[in-house]
Amino acid sequence: MIKKLALNICFLLGTFSIITAQSTNNNNYALKENIPYISSSEKDVYKLERCKLDIYYPTDKKNFLTVIWFHGGGLEGGEKGIPDELKNKGIAVVAVNYRLSPRAKNPAYIEDAAESVAWVFKNIASFGGNPEEIYISGHSAGGYLTLMVGLDKSYLNKYNIDANCIKGLIPISGQTNTHYTIKKERGLPIEIPYIDNYAPLAHARKDIPPTLLITGDRRLELPARYEENAHLDAILRVLGNKEITLYELQGFDHGAVYAPGCYLILDWIKKHSNNN
């Protein structure tokens, strides 16, 4: 059932306690860092520098699910890192670096995101993971990349992967219009909404993977960030998608929504995973 919820702080903190109590805390984990996800024949110096990922995975279980995590930073900054809230929960987390503006220009960062997702699909089984249980998430710019890779099928088609094979999309405070950094690269006003081929909204379709949209409080978020997500939520439902949920976390601004958003990820994937 499609739900659109606004959570107050007290309720959310109570939810955190329940999730924490239910999480797995006795798994052994390995962390492998700076794995290139691009071709070994690549010559581009900046791609060689940035296109790497870290994988944090349980070593005492098999067939685990995986969350691919794209960091925020407005497509202009930020570094890969495993969110603390997702550690030691019986799942694998893959943290991805991608090229950044202005050194790289659109659609370089979207292409990198797709290539990293393709790498995970092709390699996660060798670490013990289930390639049919791959979720994509990220905060802010990472949420935007999550939606672009999941909704515009052309990026993963390049690697013979159907975006519909993604188990779930979980953007936290991602833009659904054309990203403001793309507008900045073009000399367009950042404040004015713009929708073209680089807007997730432009690729809304009926058969997308189950999707959880998370934003902070509309009064505290970046301008129109909640409204953009509400717009995507409405369009996806009109198109006939049955598994779309929108959460507005009251009392949390754009930066602060990151941590509680991760706890909602854990709760949501638990309900959607075939391993449960």
Instruction: Quote the pLDDT of residue 20.
Output: 41
* pLDDT tens-place string over residues 38-67: 999 999 999 999 999 999 999 999 999 999
Instruction: Quote the pLDDT of residue 199.
Output: 98
The CATH fold of domain 3-272: Rossmann fold (3.40.50)
Instruction: Quote the pLDDT of residue 98.
Output: 98
Give me the residues of the chain with pLDDT under 50, please: 1-4, 6-26
The alpha helices in the chain, defined as continuous H runs, are: 9-22, 45-50, 108-123, 141-151, 154-157, 180-186, 225-239, 258-272
In angstroms, the CA 84 to CA 91 distance is 13
Is pTM beyond 0.85? Reply is: yes
Instruction: Quote the pLDDT of residue 274.
Output: 81
In angstroms, the CA 230 to CA 176 distance is 9
Instruction: Quote the pLDDT of residue 118.
Output: 98
In angstroms, the CA 96 to CA 142 distance is 10
Tokens representing 195 are: 């929708």
* pLDDT tens-place string over residues 111-151: 999 999 999 999 999 999 999 999 999 999 999 999 999 99
User: Domain ranges in the chain?
Assistant: 3-272
Instruction: Quote the pLDDT of residue 42.
Output: 94
∠ CA 162-109-247, nearest 5°, is 70
Name all contacts of 122-125 with Cβ < 8 Å and 24+ positions apart.
122/159, 124/66, 124/92, 124/94
